[in-house]
């Protein structure tokens, strides 16, 4: 079960924010770019690797996720949904994922783990759009979707900040930092989710 299945509920909760964005004259593409900016900021904050910056990075991750919902809802509200806007959103989301994961890896100097995590996440997203390309509809299912990833990254970043700031809290369970374990999680679960989506689509062909 993933958070992506609650998109309809999220759209209803977003209505006040969408209304404000519309009154301010914001465009969906502009909101998408702002969301991407928060993702890059999160990656930069994570690369510093200190408690305060982990917390700031987590806030930027949550802002990215929220705005990523707002842009689509705003496009629907304004009646200007387009293939171009959808393309821009997907491209920025992938670069946002890369920025955040690379930042996490840089903060603990674990680039091999970062590479494994990035490939897992990108393959998950690739399978979702590729399944749509062959006519089976957009695939959001699987073990971990993008909404789940953002929630997990933000939560672990806050916990990592506490583990560093409070000496009594173990910072390196089994010899690997919490952020390191997060990258391992994304590496393993990302590829498993991609394979799960592939098998589900293959069965439907």
Q: Tell me what pLDDT residue 111 has.
A: 95
pLDDT-derived band at 148, boundaries 50, 70, 90: confident
Both tokens assigned to 150? 């953002």
- Quick one: how far is CA 53 from the chain centroid? 18
CATH of 3-204, one of 3.20.20.140, 1.20.120.1760, 2.60.40.1180, 1.25.40.10: 1.20.120.1760
Helix (H) or strand (E) holding 48: helix 28-48
Cα separation, 120 vs 185, in Å, equals: 10
pLDDT, tens digit, 9 for 90 and up, residues 19-69: 888 788 888 889 999 999 999 999 999 999 999 999 999 999 999 998 988
Q: Which residues fall within 8 angstroms of residue 117, CB to CB, at 6 or more apart?
A: 101, 104, 105, 182, 183, 184, 186, 187, 190
Domain ranges of the chain: 3-204
């Amino acid at each position: 079960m993933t958070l992506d299945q609650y998109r309809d509920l999220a759209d209803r909760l977003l209505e006040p924010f969408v209304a404000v964005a519309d009154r301010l004259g914001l465009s969906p593409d502009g909101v998408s770019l702002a969301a991407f900016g928060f993702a890059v900021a999160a990656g930069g904050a994570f690369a510093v690797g200190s408690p305060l910056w982990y917390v700031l990075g987590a806030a930027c991750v949550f802002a990215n996720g929220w705005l990523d919902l707002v842009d689509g809802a705003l496009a629907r509200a304004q009646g200007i949904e387009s293939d171009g806007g959808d393309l821009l959103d997907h491209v920025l989301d992938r670069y946002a994922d890369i920025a955040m994961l690379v930042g996490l890896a840089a903060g603990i100097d674990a680039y091999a783990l970062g590479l494994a995590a990035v490939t897992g996440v990108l393959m998950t997203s690739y399978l979702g759009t590729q399944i749509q390309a062959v006519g089976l509809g957009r695939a959001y299912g699987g073990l971990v979707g993008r909404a789940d990833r953002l929630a997990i990254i933000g939560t672990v970043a806050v916990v990592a900040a506490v583990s560093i700031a409070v000496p009594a809290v173990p910072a390196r369970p089994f010899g690997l930092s919490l952020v390191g374990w997060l990258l391992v999680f994304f590496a393993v679960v990302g590829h498993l989710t991609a394979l799960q989506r592939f098998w589900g689509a293959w069965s439907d062909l």
